[in-house]
Structure 1
Amino acid sequence: MKINFMESFLIFIRGLFMGSADIIPGVSGGTIALITGIYERLVHSIGKINFTFIKPLLKGNFSEFKMKLLEEIDFGLFIPLFLGIGIAMISFARLIEYAMNYYPAYTFAFFLGLILASAYVLYAHLEKFSIKLIIVSIVGFILAFIFVGLNPISATHTLPILFFSGMIAICAMILPGISGAFVLLLLGQYKYMLNALNTMNFTEIIVFILGAVIGILGFSKILDYFLQKHEQITITFLIGVMLGTLRLPYDNIVNNLRVGSFGIPFEIICILFVLLGFILIVILEKKFKFVKD
């Protein structure tokens, strides 16, 4: 397997951004993957894993096992990407927890800018925009708007619950516009898992990851089909979803209004953070370039 170190490094950087996004309620790592041009490769690579390499391994045919393993699993993508995601999630867990506790409005204003810019980037790369696609986008908007308005449920934190939470959350994490962290918030598991990361509770982290792996292996095949057969409709639907999820950061900004700092009105500071998030996504898109596989 030939290694392209520059390509691996850029994939690792994408992983850092994806991991940072996945830990934030309201921001999707799938969105970051999409605007940095790696999304379709990621979904397709996960979707083609069928574990056919296990049979020759059980038979002791190690040469066939190695051949099928390399054919079926895109190590050049998975190793640097998931390394970046893991490092980012562990590194930023405390920072995000601190920012949300002490500067919630500014933090969510930044998130709002990220989501708004992501929707704009996807819209700019649509090949066409017909009445049919507008309807699909509106449906996505309405569903997401209703979804993010739901109240978090009370839940226990047993290992089976964490396992199924991982299965559900990962399906959202891989979808652009739908935040897996927000799904965890609705399930009553977000702060608990954030604390598990901060305290390095390996038992709960491993159980959650196992659920996530099973969930992503199944869901990615469905998503890969829609991207391969109905790409424009899928992307348009996801744009609507992104715009609908803006309800979450907006509500959190409004609910945390207070006096501004250094004589600057609070609203102006929030707008500056929105612009900062928007500009960051535009820079990312220009840096990595949106490339269709």
Structure 2
Amino acid sequence: MLGIMLRGMAVEVTEAVPGISGSTVAMISGVYERFIYSLSMLTTRKRRKSLPFLLLFGTGMVIGFIIAIFLVGYLLKTFRAPTLLFFVGIIVGFSPYLWKDMLKISKKRLKMKHYVIIFLLIGIVVITQLLGHTSNMNLTNLSLADYFLLGMIGLAASTALLLPGISGALILTIFGVYEFAIESLIMRNLPVVFAIGTGVLIGVLFSSKFIRYLLLHYQLETYCAMIGLVSGSIFAILYNLDSYFNTQTMIISIISFLAGVISLVVLEKMQDQN
């Protein structure tokens, strides 16, 4: 029982960091397939069999989420640039492994449509950052349309929890609401938390079968889309960096970036050993 809760904590702590996929940690800890299967059973008559596992695993995820939110919130407020560069390092360190998986699936035979998917997703991320309405949101003055948009972003983020290689935090970063969501949770802004949380909950309940379908019938195209999102997210993070860097901040940020790359390489090696 404790082991399942600890695995849930580990998954959600990493899921709260852009670039580290909670599903990767779930694979390493040996619960990924059971987690996906249990989620897919929630909308069937076999839901009772999956509830004990999901309750334990979910409790661990909630605890891990709370720990991660306050830790990341503190780091972003106190060491913003180094923290964001750490996220970039994680993504840069992860990208070659995701590309290698894609080449393995395609048997090194990528077609033009696959490159189109990759660059299309990169373009969407860049345009979202340059023209996105979400970066201008004000916590104290949100419209009904803003809450609906946050719910849709939460829905998109939930699918990332089920995909091997992308974290929900990364999706929030791409849409420009990651720090906004962190601040809302710390300040206990319940309407915002409810909007995003509802989207996530709906997505977890109903998207698991869709994700399984995509990975079964369109695995290569799905990986191409993931590579596009991951690559574009580097721009999304750098776009939100402070424009001013002093020497000390620059040195710390470089070290932080390298730490991110190394941590991801170590994590991937652990996965290979399993």
Q: TM-score, normalized by length of structure 1?
A: 0.69
C-alpha separation in 1, matches of 2:212 and 2:34: 9
Please show how residues 184-199 of structure 1 align to structure 2 within 5 Å: 184=172, 190-191=178-179, 193-199=181-187
C-alpha separation in 1, matches of 2:226 and 2:209: 17
2:199 aligns with one of 187, 211, 229: 211
C-alpha separation in 1, matches of 2:37 and 2:119: 26
C-alpha separation in 1, matches of 2:91 and 2:30: 17
Q: Deviations over 1:126-165 (max 9, x none)?
A: 3554332675255234413431442442452669635555
1:247 aligns with one of 226, 230, 235: 235
SS at the partner of 1:215?
helix
Structure showing greater radius of gyration is 1
Equivalent residue, structure 1, for 2:246: 259
SS at the partner of 1:143?
helix
- Structure 1 position 75, deviation (Å): 3.8
Please show how residues 111-150 of structure 1 align to structure 2 within 5 Å: 111-125=87-101, 126-132=104-110, 135-136=113-114, 139-150=117-128
Number of residues of Structure 1 aligned to a counterpart in Structure 2: 262
Distance 1:256 1:18, change over 3 A: farther
Q: Deviations over 1:208-238 (max 9, x none)?
A: 4333222222222111012223434433442
Q: TM-score, normalized by length of structure 2?
A: 0.73
RMSD: 3.7
Distance 1:270 1:122, change over 3 A: same
C-alpha separation in 2, matches of 1:37 and 1:87: 20
Q: Does 1:281 align with 2:264?
A: yes
Higher helix share: 2
Query: Quick one: which amino acid aligns to residue 76 of structure 2?
Result: M
Q: Does 1:105 align with 2:88?
A: no
C-alpha separation in 2, matches of 1:188 and 1:271: 23
The 8 Å contact of residues 176 and 238 in structure 1, kept in 2 or not, is answered as no
Distance 1:171 1:241, change over 3 A: same
Please show how residues 14-25 of structure 1 align to structure 2 within 5 Å: 15-25=8-18
The 8 Å contact of residues 37 and 288 in structure 1, kept in 2 or not, is answered as no
Query: Quick one: which amino acid aligns to residue 214 of structure 2?
Result: F
Distance 1:40 1:230, change over 3 A: farther
Equivalent residue, structure 1, for 2:62: 86
- % identical aligned pairs: 26
Equivalent residue, structure 1, for 2:35: 42
C-alpha separation in 1, matches of 2:114 and 2:28: 20
Structure 1: gaps spanning 5 or more residues: 53-67
C-alpha separation in 1, matches of 2:192 and 2:56: 24
Structure 2: gaps spanning 5 or more residues: none
- Structure 1 position 114, deviation (Å): 1.3
Which segment drifts farther, 127-136 or 236-245? 127-136
